[in-house]
Amino acid sequence: MTTEQCGQDQLPIGLFDSGVGGLTVLDAMRRLMPGEDYLFLGDTARVPYGAKSQKTIVRYSLQAAAKLIGQRIKLLVIACNTATAAALPALRETWPDMPIIGVIEPGSRAACEASPSGDIAVIATESTIRSGAYAEAILRRRPEAQVRSLACPLFVPLAEEGWFDGPIAEGVVSRYLEPLFEKSPAPDCLVLGCTHYPMLAAAIRKVVGPEVHIVDSAATTAEVVKRRLADKGLAHPQAGRTGRIRFFITDDPQRFTRTGSLFLNMTITDSDVRLVDLENVPLPDAAETPTQRKSS
Protein backbone atom coordinates (compact mmCIF):
# COMPACT_ATOMS: atom_id res chain seq x y z
CA MET A 1 0.00 0.00 0.00
CA THR A 2 1.35 3.43 -0.91
CA THR A 3 1.69 6.32 1.51
CA GLU A 4 -1.23 8.04 -0.21
CA GLN A 5 -3.43 4.97 0.34
CA CYS A 6 -2.52 4.64 4.01
CA GLY A 7 -5.67 5.30 6.01
CA GLN A 8 -7.94 5.34 2.95
CA ASP A 9 -9.10 1.82 3.73
CA GLN A 10 -10.91 3.20 6.77
CA LEU A 11 -12.83 5.84 4.81
CA PRO A 12 -16.54 5.27 4.00
CA ILE A 13 -17.99 4.12 0.70
CA GLY A 14 -20.18 6.82 -0.87
CA LEU A 15 -23.42 6.12 -2.74
CA PHE A 16 -25.95 8.44 -4.31
CA ASP A 17 -29.38 8.08 -5.86
CA SER A 18 -32.17 10.36 -7.04
CA GLY A 19 -34.23 9.31 -4.03
CA VAL A 20 -34.53 6.27 -1.80
CA GLY A 21 -34.25 3.53 -4.44
CA GLY A 22 -30.47 3.33 -4.10
CA LEU A 23 -31.03 2.01 -0.59
CA THR A 24 -31.55 -1.40 -2.24
CA VAL A 25 -27.90 -1.21 -3.35
CA LEU A 26 -26.81 -0.02 0.10
CA ASP A 27 -28.72 -2.91 1.68
CA ALA A 28 -26.94 -5.47 -0.53
CA MET A 29 -23.57 -3.89 0.21
CA ARG A 30 -23.98 -3.75 3.98
CA ARG A 31 -25.05 -7.41 4.01
CA LEU A 32 -22.03 -8.44 1.95
CA MET A 33 -19.60 -6.02 3.64
CA PRO A 34 -20.99 -5.30 7.13
CA GLY A 35 -17.67 -3.95 8.39
CA GLU A 36 -17.55 -1.03 5.95
CA ASP A 37 -18.80 2.48 6.70
CA TYR A 38 -21.28 4.02 4.25
CA LEU A 39 -22.40 7.52 3.34
CA PHE A 40 -25.61 7.57 1.31
CA LEU A 41 -26.95 10.66 -0.45
CA GLY A 42 -30.56 10.71 -1.61
CA ASP A 43 -31.52 13.68 -3.80
CA THR A 44 -35.10 13.54 -2.59
CA ALA A 45 -35.78 17.18 -3.49
CA ARG A 46 -35.30 16.46 -7.20
CA VAL A 47 -36.57 12.90 -7.56
CA PRO A 48 -37.26 11.41 -10.08
CA TYR A 49 -34.29 11.82 -12.41
CA GLY A 50 -35.80 9.52 -15.02
CA ALA A 51 -38.04 12.10 -16.71
CA LYS A 52 -35.35 14.80 -16.94
CA SER A 53 -32.93 15.65 -19.75
CA GLN A 54 -29.44 14.14 -19.91
CA LYS A 55 -27.87 17.57 -19.31
CA THR A 56 -29.87 18.01 -16.11
CA ILE A 57 -29.15 14.48 -14.89
CA VAL A 58 -25.41 14.98 -15.46
CA ARG A 59 -25.46 18.24 -13.49
CA TYR A 60 -27.39 16.67 -10.61
CA SER A 61 -25.03 13.68 -10.58
CA LEU A 62 -21.93 15.87 -10.55
CA GLN A 63 -23.33 17.85 -7.64
CA ALA A 64 -24.14 14.70 -5.67
CA ALA A 65 -20.73 13.18 -6.38
CA ALA A 66 -18.93 16.41 -5.44
CA LYS A 67 -20.76 16.49 -2.12
CA LEU A 68 -19.79 12.91 -1.26
CA ILE A 69 -16.20 13.19 -2.47
CA GLY A 70 -15.84 16.37 -0.43
CA GLN A 71 -16.64 14.30 2.67
CA ARG A 72 -13.67 11.98 1.93
CA ILE A 73 -14.76 8.61 0.62
CA LYS A 74 -12.69 5.76 -0.81
CA LEU A 75 -15.07 4.62 -3.56
CA LEU A 76 -18.20 6.04 -5.19
CA VAL A 77 -21.22 3.99 -6.23
CA ILE A 78 -23.82 5.49 -8.57
CA ALA A 79 -26.76 3.68 -6.99
CA CYS A 80 -29.11 4.91 -9.73
CA ASN A 81 -29.53 3.42 -13.20
CA THR A 82 -30.62 6.74 -14.72
CA ALA A 83 -27.56 8.56 -13.38
CA THR A 84 -25.29 5.69 -14.41
CA ALA A 85 -26.59 5.78 -17.99
CA ALA A 86 -26.35 9.56 -18.30
CA ALA A 87 -23.42 10.60 -16.15
CA LEU A 88 -20.89 7.79 -15.56
CA PRO A 89 -18.40 9.00 -18.22
CA ALA A 90 -18.57 12.61 -16.97
CA LEU A 91 -18.03 11.51 -13.36
CA ARG A 92 -15.03 9.33 -14.23
CA GLU A 93 -13.49 12.10 -16.31
CA THR A 94 -14.00 14.67 -13.57
CA TRP A 95 -12.55 12.46 -10.81
CA PRO A 96 -10.15 10.08 -12.60
CA ASP A 97 -8.46 8.98 -9.36
CA MET A 98 -11.69 7.99 -7.61
CA PRO A 99 -12.95 4.42 -8.17
CA ILE A 100 -16.50 4.92 -9.51
CA ILE A 101 -18.92 2.03 -10.08
CA GLY A 102 -22.33 2.18 -11.75
CA VAL A 103 -25.13 -0.37 -11.62
CA ILE A 104 -25.74 -1.06 -15.33
CA GLU A 105 -22.72 -3.22 -16.17
CA PRO A 106 -23.20 -5.60 -13.20
CA GLY A 107 -26.92 -5.93 -13.95
CA SER A 108 -26.34 -6.56 -17.65
CA ARG A 109 -23.77 -9.23 -16.95
CA ALA A 110 -26.12 -10.96 -14.52
CA ALA A 111 -28.94 -10.91 -17.10
CA CYS A 112 -26.73 -12.47 -19.77
CA GLU A 113 -25.78 -15.24 -17.38
CA ALA A 114 -29.33 -15.83 -16.14
CA SER A 115 -31.23 -15.97 -19.45
CA PRO A 116 -31.26 -19.42 -21.12
CA SER A 117 -32.68 -18.12 -24.42
CA GLY A 118 -31.28 -14.59 -24.56
CA ASP A 119 -34.80 -13.15 -24.64
CA ILE A 120 -34.36 -10.42 -22.03
CA ALA A 121 -36.75 -7.69 -20.91
CA VAL A 122 -35.46 -4.50 -19.32
CA ILE A 123 -37.75 -2.20 -17.35
CA ALA A 124 -36.44 1.18 -16.22
CA THR A 125 -37.11 4.91 -16.19
CA GLU A 126 -37.75 6.80 -19.41
CA SER A 127 -34.26 8.28 -19.43
CA THR A 128 -32.52 4.93 -18.93
CA ILE A 129 -34.58 3.25 -21.66
CA ARG A 130 -33.99 6.19 -24.00
CA SER A 131 -30.23 5.93 -23.47
CA GLY A 132 -30.13 2.33 -24.67
CA ALA A 133 -27.42 1.63 -22.09
CA TYR A 134 -28.79 -1.75 -21.00
CA ALA A 135 -29.40 -2.98 -24.52
CA GLU A 136 -25.88 -1.94 -25.54
CA ALA A 137 -24.29 -3.64 -22.52
CA ILE A 138 -26.30 -6.86 -22.99
CA LEU A 139 -25.68 -7.10 -26.73
CA ARG A 140 -21.97 -6.51 -26.21
CA ARG A 141 -21.89 -9.74 -24.18
CA ARG A 142 -24.55 -11.69 -26.08
CA PRO A 143 -24.89 -10.36 -29.65
CA GLU A 144 -27.65 -12.86 -30.39
CA ALA A 145 -29.84 -11.66 -27.51
CA GLN A 146 -33.26 -10.09 -28.01
CA VAL A 147 -33.68 -7.13 -25.69
CA ARG A 148 -37.16 -5.74 -25.04
CA SER A 149 -37.08 -2.40 -23.25
CA LEU A 150 -39.99 -0.81 -21.42
CA ALA A 151 -40.23 2.42 -19.42
CA CYS A 152 -42.28 2.14 -16.23
CA PRO A 153 -42.24 5.70 -14.84
CA LEU A 154 -44.94 5.18 -12.18
CA PHE A 155 -42.87 2.55 -10.35
CA VAL A 156 -40.59 5.20 -8.79
CA PRO A 157 -43.32 7.26 -7.07
CA LEU A 158 -44.92 4.03 -5.83
CA ALA A 159 -41.65 3.00 -4.20
CA GLU A 160 -41.02 6.49 -2.83
CA GLU A 161 -44.46 6.38 -1.18
CA GLY A 162 -43.74 2.98 0.33
CA TRP A 163 -46.57 1.34 -1.64
CA PHE A 164 -44.68 -1.87 -2.35
CA ASP A 165 -47.63 -4.23 -2.62
CA GLY A 166 -51.41 -4.32 -2.43
CA PRO A 167 -54.04 -3.53 -5.08
CA ILE A 168 -52.60 -0.18 -6.19
CA ALA A 169 -49.07 -1.47 -6.74
CA GLU A 170 -50.29 -4.68 -8.33
CA GLY A 171 -52.63 -2.80 -10.64
CA VAL A 172 -49.92 -0.45 -11.89
CA VAL A 173 -47.44 -3.31 -12.36
CA SER A 174 -50.02 -5.34 -14.28
CA ARG A 175 -50.83 -2.42 -16.57
CA TYR A 176 -47.18 -2.08 -17.59
CA LEU A 177 -46.01 -5.69 -17.69
CA GLU A 178 -48.94 -7.85 -18.76
CA PRO A 179 -48.66 -6.85 -22.46
CA LEU A 180 -44.99 -7.86 -22.37
CA PHE A 181 -45.45 -11.23 -20.68
CA GLU A 182 -48.92 -12.45 -21.65
CA LYS A 183 -47.92 -13.38 -25.20
CA SER A 184 -45.76 -16.36 -26.15
CA PRO A 185 -42.84 -16.51 -26.34
CA ALA A 186 -42.36 -14.22 -23.36
CA PRO A 187 -38.95 -13.08 -22.10
CA ASP A 188 -37.32 -15.57 -19.73
CA CYS A 189 -35.36 -12.87 -17.90
CA LEU A 190 -36.45 -9.50 -16.51
CA VAL A 191 -33.93 -6.84 -15.53
CA LEU A 192 -35.09 -4.39 -12.88
CA GLY A 193 -33.25 -1.45 -14.42
CA CYS A 194 -34.01 1.02 -11.65
CA THR A 195 -32.89 0.70 -8.05
CA HIS A 196 -36.42 1.57 -6.87
CA TYR A 197 -37.97 -1.40 -8.64
CA PRO A 198 -36.78 -4.23 -6.34
CA MET A 199 -39.13 -2.90 -3.68
CA LEU A 200 -41.98 -3.88 -6.02
CA ALA A 201 -40.54 -7.36 -6.61
CA ALA A 202 -43.47 -9.21 -5.02
CA ALA A 203 -46.01 -7.43 -7.23
CA ILE A 204 -43.77 -7.91 -10.28
CA ARG A 205 -43.40 -11.64 -9.57
CA LYS A 206 -47.20 -12.05 -9.48
CA VAL A 207 -47.45 -10.65 -13.00
CA VAL A 208 -44.47 -12.32 -14.71
CA GLY A 209 -44.90 -15.74 -13.08
CA PRO A 210 -42.49 -18.07 -11.30
CA GLU A 211 -40.38 -19.14 -14.30
CA VAL A 212 -38.96 -15.74 -15.25
CA HIS A 213 -35.50 -14.91 -13.92
CA ILE A 214 -35.67 -11.51 -12.19
CA VAL A 215 -32.33 -9.71 -12.10
CA ASP A 216 -31.73 -7.10 -9.43
CA SER A 217 -28.44 -5.31 -10.06
CA ALA A 218 -28.00 -4.44 -6.36
CA ALA A 219 -26.47 -7.79 -5.38
CA THR A 220 -24.17 -7.96 -8.39
CA THR A 221 -23.08 -4.36 -7.85
CA ALA A 222 -22.20 -5.17 -4.25
CA GLU A 223 -20.01 -8.05 -5.43
CA VAL A 224 -18.22 -5.75 -7.89
CA VAL A 225 -17.57 -3.23 -5.13
CA LYS A 226 -16.15 -5.90 -2.83
CA ARG A 227 -13.76 -7.10 -5.55
CA ARG A 228 -12.69 -3.55 -6.40
CA LEU A 229 -11.90 -2.77 -2.75
CA ALA A 230 -9.85 -5.96 -2.48
CA ASP A 231 -7.98 -5.26 -5.72
CA LYS A 232 -7.03 -1.76 -4.56
CA GLY A 233 -6.22 -2.73 -0.99
CA LEU A 234 -9.07 -0.57 0.30
CA ALA A 235 -11.19 -3.08 2.24
CA HIS A 236 -11.60 -2.07 5.87
CA PRO A 237 -8.80 -3.72 7.86
CA GLN A 238 -10.70 -4.30 11.10
CA ALA A 239 -12.36 -7.72 11.12
CA GLY A 240 -15.64 -8.31 12.93
CA ARG A 241 -16.67 -4.67 13.20
CA THR A 242 -20.11 -3.30 12.37
CA GLY A 243 -19.85 -0.29 10.10
CA ARG A 244 -21.65 3.01 10.47
CA ILE A 245 -24.21 4.30 7.98
CA ARG A 246 -24.89 8.02 7.55
CA PHE A 247 -27.42 9.69 5.27
CA PHE A 248 -27.49 13.00 3.39
CA ILE A 249 -30.94 14.03 2.16
CA THR A 250 -31.97 17.07 0.12
CA ASP A 251 -35.60 17.24 1.31
CA ASP A 252 -37.99 15.96 4.00
CA PRO A 253 -35.73 13.95 6.37
CA GLN A 254 -38.73 12.68 8.34
CA ARG A 255 -40.25 11.06 5.29
CA PHE A 256 -36.90 9.57 4.34
CA THR A 257 -36.46 8.16 7.85
CA ARG A 258 -39.82 6.44 7.60
CA THR A 259 -39.47 5.06 4.06
CA GLY A 260 -35.75 4.33 4.34
CA SER A 261 -36.35 2.20 7.42
CA LEU A 262 -38.69 0.05 5.31
CA PHE A 263 -36.14 -0.26 2.50
CA LEU A 264 -33.31 -1.30 4.82
CA ASN A 265 -35.37 -3.23 7.36
CA MET A 266 -33.64 -1.30 10.12
CA THR A 267 -34.38 1.73 12.24
CA ILE A 268 -33.02 5.01 10.88
CA THR A 269 -32.98 7.72 13.52
CA ASP A 270 -33.05 11.48 13.04
CA SER A 271 -29.45 11.69 14.19
CA ASP A 272 -28.38 9.50 11.25
CA VAL A 273 -29.85 11.90 8.67
CA ARG A 274 -28.54 15.30 7.62
CA LEU A 275 -30.32 17.76 5.33
CA VAL A 276 -28.02 19.18 2.63
CA ASP A 277 -28.33 21.61 -0.30
CA LEU A 278 -26.77 20.43 -3.57
CA GLU A 279 -27.62 23.46 -5.69
CA ASN A 280 -24.74 25.46 -4.21
CA VAL A 281 -22.14 22.68 -4.36
CA PRO A 282 -19.15 23.98 -6.37
CA LEU A 283 -18.09 21.75 -9.26
CA PRO A 284 -14.57 21.23 -10.63
CA ASP A 285 -13.77 23.03 -13.88
CA ALA A 286 -13.59 19.66 -15.65
CA ALA A 287 -17.23 18.92 -14.87
CA GLU A 288 -18.64 19.30 -18.35
CA THR A 289 -20.61 16.86 -20.45
CA PRO A 290 -19.10 15.60 -23.72
CA THR A 291 -21.81 17.56 -25.56
CA GLN A 292 -20.82 20.76 -23.80
CA ARG A 293 -17.14 20.26 -24.66
CA LYS A 294 -17.90 19.65 -28.33
CA SER A 295 -20.03 22.77 -28.60
CA SER A 296 -17.54 25.05 -26.86
Contact present, 103 and 217 (Cβ < 8 Å): yes
How far apart, in Å, are the Cα atoms of 23 and each of 42, 93, 195, 261?
Answer: 9, 26, 8, 10
Q: Which residues are annotated as a binding site for substrate?
A: 17-18, 49-50, 81-82, 195-196
- 6 among known catalytic residues: no
- Which among 112, 152, 189, 194 is annotated as catalytic? 194
CA distance 48 to 54: 13
What b-and-e string marks burial along 172-201, b requiring 16 or more CB atoms within 10 Å of the CB? bbbebbeebbeeeebbbbbbbbbbbbbbbb
- 194 among known catalytic residues: yes
Nearest Cα to 46, choosing from 196, 251, 199, 273?
Answer: 251
HSE-CB at 295 with a 13 A cutoff on CA atoms is 5
The CB-based long-range contact list for 140-145 (8 Å cut-off, 24+ gap) reads 141/108, 141/109, 141/112, 142/112, 142/115, 142/118, 144/118, 145/112, 145/115, 145/118, 145/119, 145/120
Cis ω on the peptide bond leading into residue 282 (within 30° of 0)? no
Calculate helix-pair angle for 201-208, 167-181, nearest 10 degrees.
40
- Which among 80, 112, 152, 189 is annotated as catalytic? 80
Q: Which residues are annotated as a binding site?
A: 17-18, 49-50, 81-82, 195-196
Catalytic (active-site) positions: 80, 194
